[in-house]
């Protein structure tokens, strides 16, 4: 039967469509050193510490309050939802493109009834005729002899993979953003408490000097200097009140829901992550597991597949349109042995002869795009290497900086206490006390700031080293 021949021809065409003109994929060599920098500025390694990429985020972050915030963000953050929906869109696009590898087989049914007037009838009298038909057919199926359709399908698949890696990267970024925003909130909250304590101390000093001024033991200059110190402390309090509120708003946006402020920690913790040290001799190849780099490689493979599709455009394309079915003037006779068999078979070949260099230009564009994708992949590796090296340098120096900052704050406090005693005994002016207190306030702010930067550094290391297991 003809219908059997059509199905056989379609099956043969599918089998023959295995040719591909996609160039063999060659992974670019890593454009960075084999290992990360080392030296006085960099963190010391520890053979007993696990790799960051092997630690799940729930095990990486220590504070239960922070873990709860991250879980809320992963459930409710709108940016992450968009990234997940982009994956669904890319998956659907791939399935659409992949479906072109197989013919579309459609079943049809039709009923026609028409009246022929007397003056148009061959019998000399008007009549009414009916016809019924059913059939099955293949519409414009391209025989993929040179792999054009298969190349486009490969490109769609790699684009889907790149989108999936973009979603993984977005999730890691979200986790680190929540952690850093939380640390910033706790740091500004400690700054606010310091400003409130300073304001209280300055108000007490002002009231004391005001009384001594009224008794004639203090000058008007000292009174005004004390008033200036009060207002400076008030300014700091207002600033950190505003910053704390804005930090909470940022956390609310990241989490996607309202946050109960009372459920958060009261102050900066000593440690925020399980990262104490890094494993010895971490190779820079670990960067290749970062989602953004894996996504860049999938984009490179997609561009590579585009070259195959552009090459195939130089060769003839063959499409098949075929159908077979039954036709009858009566519905009861449609499937009887007397019904008529109707069929058609229409192969079409398109041979490119002259298109003003369009195919050649498209191939050149595909090749250049592949080179751009390769350069972007290499740049992604270089950027990742620099990010890790910077954070390793920060981790290797923040501990010493924090110790020095604490020592500075202790020394400054002793200077302030001595200046205060000298003023009470009339040895020095109140200006010396004010200068010492300003230095103390700045030093204590520095301790909070360096602690905050140190904790932010640990979180950022989590991100730049690949984020661990989701």
User: Model confidence over 389-438: pLDDT tens digits?
Assistant: 888 888 888 889 999 999 999 999 999 999 999 988 888 888 899 999 99
**Pick from 69, 98, 273, 104: nearest CA to 174:** 69
Q: State the pLDDT at residue 19.
A: 65
CB 299 within 8 A of CB 158: yes
CATH number at residue 285: 1.20.1600.10
Cβ count within 10 A of residue 401: 14
Query: What is the band of 47 on the pLDDT scale with cuts at 50, 70, 90?
Result: very low
Read off the pLDDT of each residue in 201-228 and give the average, rounded to a whole number: 90
DSSP run (H or E) holding 317: strand 317-328
Q: Is residue 345 part of a domain?
A: no
- 94-108, 153-167, 190-204, 223-237: least confidently modelled range: 94-108
Of the CA atoms within 13 Å of residue 255, those in its CB half-sphere come to 23
Read off the pLDDT of each residue in 211-232 and give the average, rounded to a whole number: 90
**Cα distances (angstroms) measured from residue 17 to each of 95, 312, 319:** 18, 12, 12
Query: What is the band of 252 on the pLDDT scale with cuts at 50, 70, 90?
Result: very high
- 3-17, 108-122, 189-203: least confidently modelled range: 3-17
Q: Is residue 133 part of a domain?
A: no
Q: What percent of the chain has pLDDT over 70?
A: 80
Q: State the pLDDT at residue 1.
A: 41
Residue 341 has pLDDT above 60, yes or no: yes
CA angle (437, 442, 448) in 5-degree steps = 130
Q: Is residue 416 part of a domain?
A: yes
Q: Could you tell me the pTM of the whole model?
A: 0.78
Q: Is residue 171 part of a domain?
A: yes
Q: Is residue 94 part of a domain?
A: yes
Query: What is the band of 202 on the pLDDT scale with cuts at 50, 70, 90?
Result: very high
Q: Is residue 82 part of a domain?
A: yes
Q: Is residue 21 part of a domain?
A: no
Query: How many structural domains does the chain have?
Result: 1
Residue 85 has pLDDT above 90, yes or no: no
Report the chain's terminal Cα–Cα distance, integer Å.
Answer: 57
Q: Is residue 460 part of a domain?
A: yes
> What's CA 465's distance to the chain center, in Å?
15
Which residue range(s) make up the domain with 381? 31-101+144-315+352-464
Query: What is the band of 339 on the pLDDT scale with cuts at 50, 70, 90?
Result: low
The residue assigned the tokens 């499409």 is: 319
Cβ count within 10 A of residue 204: 12
Residue 53 has pLDDT above 90, yes or no: no
């Amino acid at each position: 039967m003809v219908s059997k021949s059509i199905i056989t021809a379609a099956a043969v065409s599918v089998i023959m469509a295995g040719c591909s003109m996609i160039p063999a994929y060659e992974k670019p060599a890593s454009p960075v050193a084999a290992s990360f920098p080392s030296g006085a500025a960099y963190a010391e390694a520890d053979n007993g510490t696990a790799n960051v990429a092997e630690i799940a985020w729930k095990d990486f972050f220590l504070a239960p309050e922070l873990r709860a915030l991250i879980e809320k963000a992963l459930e409710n953050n709108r940016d992450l939802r968009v990234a997940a929906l982009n994956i669904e869109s890319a998956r659907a696009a791939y399935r659409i493109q992949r479906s072109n590898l197989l013919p579309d087989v459609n079943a049809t049914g039709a009923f026609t009834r028409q009246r022929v007037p007397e003056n148009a009838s061959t019998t000399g009298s008007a009549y009414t005729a009916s016809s019924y038909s059913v059939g099955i057919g293949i519409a414009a199926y391209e025989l993929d002899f040179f792999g054009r359709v298969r190349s486009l399908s490969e490109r769609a698949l790699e684009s889907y993979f790149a989108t999936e890696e973009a979603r993984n990267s977005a999730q890691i970024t979200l986790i680190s953003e929540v952690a850093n925003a939380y640390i910033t909130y706790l740091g500004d909250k400690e700054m606010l408490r310091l400003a409130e304590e300073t304001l209280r101390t300055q108000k007490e000093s002002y009231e004391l000097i005001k009384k001594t001024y009224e008794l004639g033991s203090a000058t008007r200059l000292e009174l005004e200097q004390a008033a200036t110190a009060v207002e400076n402390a008030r300014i700091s309090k207002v600033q950190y009140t505003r910053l704390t509120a804005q930090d909470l708003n940022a956390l609310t946006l990241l989490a996607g829901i309202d946050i109960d402020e009372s459920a958060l920690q009261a102050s900066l913790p000593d440690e925020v992550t399980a990262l104490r040290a890094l494993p010895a001799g971490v190779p820079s190849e670990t960067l290749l597991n970062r989602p953004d780099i894996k996504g860049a490689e999938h984009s490179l493979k997609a561009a590579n597949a585009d070259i195959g599709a552009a090459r195939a455009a130089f060769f003839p394309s063959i499409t098949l349109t075929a159908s077979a079915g039954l036709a009858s003037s009566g519905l009861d006779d449609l499937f009887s042995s007397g019904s008529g068999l109707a069929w058609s078979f229409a192969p079409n070949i398109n041979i490119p002869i002259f298109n003003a260099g369009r195919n050649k230009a498209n191939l050149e564009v595909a090749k250049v795009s592949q080179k751009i994708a390769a350069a972007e992949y290499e740049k992604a590796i270089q950027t990742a290497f620099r990010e890790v090296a910077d954070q390793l340098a920060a981790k290797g120096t923040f501990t010493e900086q924090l110790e020095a900052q604490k020592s500075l704050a202790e020394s400054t406090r002793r200077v302030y206490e001595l200046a205060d005693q000298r003023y009470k005994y009339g040895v020095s002016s109140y200006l010396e006390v004010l200068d010492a207190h300003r230095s103390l306030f700045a030093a204590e702010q520095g301790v909070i700031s360096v602690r905050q930067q140190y904790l932010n550094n640990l979180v950022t290391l989590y991100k730049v080293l690949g984020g661990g297991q989701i």
